[in-house]
Structure 1
Amino acid sequence: MANGLVSGQLPRFVEFYILAGALVLSGGFFAFMGFNLGGWIFISIIVYLIALATISTLAENRRKAVDRIVRSLVSIAFLLAIAPLISTLYTVVAKGIGTLNWTFISQTGGAVFDPTTLKVAVTAGALQAVVGTLEITGITALMSIPIGILTSIYLVEYARPTQWMARTVTFLVDVMTGIPSIVAGLFALSLFTLIIGPKAFSGFSASVALSVLMIPIVVRSCEEMLRLVPHDLREASFALGVSRFSTIVKIVLPTAIGGIITGVMLAIARVIGETAPIFIAASFTDNFNANPFFGPMQTLPVLAYTGYKFPGQDIAASNASSWGAALLLVLIVVLLNIIARIIAKFFAPKGAW
Structure 2
Amino acid sequence: MKITLKEKKLADGRLSLYLEFYKGSSTNVDGKRIHLRDFEYLKLYLLPNPTTKKEKQDNKETLALANDILTIRKTEFIQGRYGLKDTIKSKRTFLAFFSELTDEKMKQDSSNNYGNWFSTHQHLKKIVSPSFTFEEIDENFIKRVKNYFEKEALTKSQLPLSQNSKYSYFNKFKASLRRAFDDGYLTINYASKVKSFEQAESQREYLTFDELQSLAKAECKYPVLKKAFIFSCLSGIRWSDIEKMVWAEVRDESGISRINFIQDKIDGAEYLYISKQARELLGNRKEPIDRVFKGLKYGMTFNTEIVRWCNRAGVPKHITFHSARHTNAVLLLENGADIYTVSKRLGHRELRTTQIYAKIVDSKAKEAAEIIPGLEIEI
Greater relative contact order structure (CA < 8 Å, 6+ sep): 1
- Bigger radius of gyration, 1 or 2? 2
Please give the TM-score of this superposition, normalised by the length of structure 2.
0.25
Higher helix share: 1
